[in-house]
Structure formats: C-alpha cells, structure tokens
Amino acid sequence: MTGSAGQELPLAGVRVLALEHAVAAPIATRHLADMGAEVIKVERPAIGDFARRYDQSVHGLSSFFVWLNRGKRSLTLDVKKPGAAGLLARLVARSDVVVQNLAPGASDRLGLSYAALSPAHPRLVLCDISGYGRDGPYASRKAYDLLIQAEAGLMSVTGTPEAPARAGISAADIATGMYAYSGILAALVRRGNTGRGAHLQVTMLNAVAEWMGHALYQAAYGSGPPARLASGHPNIQPYGTYRTGDGAVILGIQNDGEWATFCRDVLGRPELATDPRFATNVARVANGMELTAAIEAVFAGLDSAAVIGRLDAAGIANGRLNDAGQVWAHPQLAARDRWREVGTPGGTVRALLPPTEFADVELAMGDVPALGAHTTAILSEIGCTEAEIANLRSTGTV
C-alpha cells in the first residue's frame, strides 16, 4: 500500500486480525491501519461493535465508531457458531498480528490463546488487551474507562478540591490502546530481526498507573497524594487559569528565570521575583493563594487581550480555553493542512491526519466501513466458495 506521496506506507503488507469492540483495541488497530496495515475487524452479525450505537452524531453514525475505525475491513462473524472456529483458524493463518479485547477468558475459549496458536504460527504477534490482566484477584472483573480512571487514581487528581472528576475523554481506553499500538510495533521490529513472534499483554490498570507516575511517587515518598486544583498544578506555580478584568487567561511558568521575566515584563512588579514567598517554585507552591492574589490584582486592571499581549511579548507560554467546536476550527490545524475527507456509510466527513508525520509519505486515511461490508470479499480470499458463503449466511454464522 502506498500513501499520497507515492511512497510505501510503513506497515504495508502487514495483516491484522482484530476481535475488538469499544475504544481500547480499536484505537490501536486504527493507528496500525493508518500506517498501512490491512486490518480485518471481526463484528457480530446484525449487531456489530457496540460502539456503533454509542450516539448518532455523525450523519446518523456514532462519533466513536467513525473516529476509531477508518481504514478497516469489516467482517461479520458469530464466533459462537459451529463453523466459526475453522474460519478463525484460516484468518489467523494469514495474519501477522491478532488483537483482542474480548471479555475475560473469551479468547481462550475460542482457541485464540498464545499457547494454542504459537506452535503452528511462531511468527504471530498476539496482543491481549484487558482491564486487569490474566491473573491476580481482579482478573475476572469487567473494566470500563470510568472504572479504571477511578481504580488507577486518575479521578483522584482530576477535578476540584471539593469533588473528583472523570477525565472528559476516554483516557484509560486511549492510554491502553496506545501502549498496545507501540508494543505491537516493537514486536514487529523484533520479529524482523529474530523471526520470532510475541505474546503481548496490555492492561488498562497498568497503562493508567504508568501515567500516574509522578503522583504515585509523590504519594509514596513525598507529602502525600497531589491535591485536585481544577486547572491548577499541585507542583508548579504559577500554572493554571487566572482572572482578568473581563474573563480569564491560561498560562504556565516552568522555571525561576521565566518567573523573573513574568514579574518584570507582565506584572510590572520585578520585586516579586525575589520575594521570599515566591522566589523559588517550591516557595510559590507553598504560598499559592497569595501568589494567585498578587497576579490577579494586576490582571484585574487589564482585559484578557491586553494580558495575552504582554504574555506573548515576554515569551511566557499561554493558551486559550477552547471547546471542541473551536478546536474543529483551530487556525493552526487549518494552516498546517491537517484535515482530510474520508467516506462513511452516512456520507463524507472530515478527519484529522494521524499525529505522526512522515516526511516522505502521507499516512493512510481509509473509509469507515459499513457493518459486514467486506465479509464476502474476505471469505473468498481465505478460500470459501460462493456456496459455502451462502450457507454461512443462511446459518447466521456471518
């Protein structure tokens, strides 16, 4: 497979079989598809991935499904039907990678464990995605994004002092999927060197616990768990949202040199840079309420545009509090030509190019598949005759 610049895509020729639903596995395999892999998405006949029905925001389609499943081929298959095992075996035989995030124990029951597959397919990369892993006291528990955000501590550091909050995107699912994606890429590189496949396990708890790293260290070795400060930061000051005469601005300062510049060129109060309460970041954090009061006392006499003008002139990092609609029209995304059009069963939609940019090739931007759109073609490719396909349809297997 080649990209728009005519160069071969990084994963051209790699075949991926995905028994997936929701977010964690689909985001991993969508990035593989963006890189040029052929991804076959196995879905239940007549029902499909239940994420297809999360909402109807995009031409009557689910915003989640449109986001996570472009560039894939959809094969309907009822894996519980008697004829399904043989079809899965044929699909596995032509695959480089198998990805699954089925319910705990389901892949083993289908004969898709690494122990069952690796003897006949020693080059296969199998990636199991789960909430908590194959063993331990939580192994059989179901895991959803909200629950993992709570279990892994993310909600404890997100929100206001009065109330914890779930991150507004599927942070646990996304973290897990991206570790699965990077792990699969690493396994393919190693296979290229050794010829040996791999069994990967990626759990949601592990992924978010890794993201909690500094907070865990602070809780274990420091002053206790970090405080929830809404848009503020428990370890860096000033860093957050500050009121102005007509609204608010968001800014961040990373070191004492920037702090001195901020005091001199933005606040017009250079003496604050050496004030013992604020001279170091540790002191600024300890005296956060007084610091905020000193900053907002100056900002109160200025509108937001004037504050931003001063911040920009001084080279102090700042940003706008955009909502999703404003990001859709973000001038930087437009200026860098980051949008493309892809097809969906409901019509053409805009989609962002993948975040990774190759200098010599534009990554793939395939269409979002209708349920079962590629079933007949895929079955034919693995050797099924027209009569066999008709029989599989009549029995509800596909």
pLDDT for 253 beyond 70: yes
* DSSP E strand boundaries for the chain: 15-19, 38-43, 72-76, 97-100, 125-130, 198-203, 239-243, 248-252, 318-319, 339-342, 349-352
Cα–Cα distance, 210 to 208 (Å, whole number): 5
Phi and psi for 100 in degrees, rounded to 5? -145, 140
Angstrom distances, CA of residue 252 to CA of 181, 239, 358: 31, 4, 30
pLDDT for 175 beyond 60: yes
Q: What is the pLDDT of residue 143?
A: 93
Helices (H), 69-105: 84-93
Give me the mean pLDDT over the 188-205 stretch.
Answer: 98
pLDDT for 45 beyond 90: yes
Give me the mean pLDDT over the 118-129 stretch.
Answer: 97
Under the banding of pLDDT at 50, 70 and 90, the label for residue 4 is low
Domains annotated for the chain, with CATH where assigned, are 15-212+337-394 (3.40.50.10540), 239-319 (3.30.1540.10)
Cα–Cα distance, 370 to 345 (Å, whole number): 6
Output the pTM of the full model. Answer: 0.92
* Contact status, residue 212 vs residue 153, Cβ threshold 8 Å: yes
Cα–Cα distance, 105 to 159 (Å, whole number): 35
Q: What is the pLDDT of residue 361?
A: 95
pLDDT for 2 beyond 80: no
Q: Are strands 125-130 and 198-203 parallel, antiparallel or unpaired?
A: parallel
Closest by CA position to 61, among listed 352, 324, 344: 344
Q: What is the pLDDT of residue 1?
A: 63
pLDDT for 6 beyond 70: no
* Contact status, residue 1 vs residue 364, Cβ threshold 8 Å: yes
Under the banding of pLDDT at 50, 70 and 90, the label for residue 221 is very high
65, two tokens: 């499904």
Contacts of 10 (CB under 8 A, 6+ apart): 35, 36, 358, 361
Give the HSE-up count for residue 366: Cα atoms under 13 Å, Cβ half-sphere.
Answer: 25
Across the chain, what does the average pLDDT equal? 95
User: Which sequence positions are flagged as catalytic?
Assistant: 233
* Contact status, residue 341 vs residue 12, Cβ threshold 8 Å: no
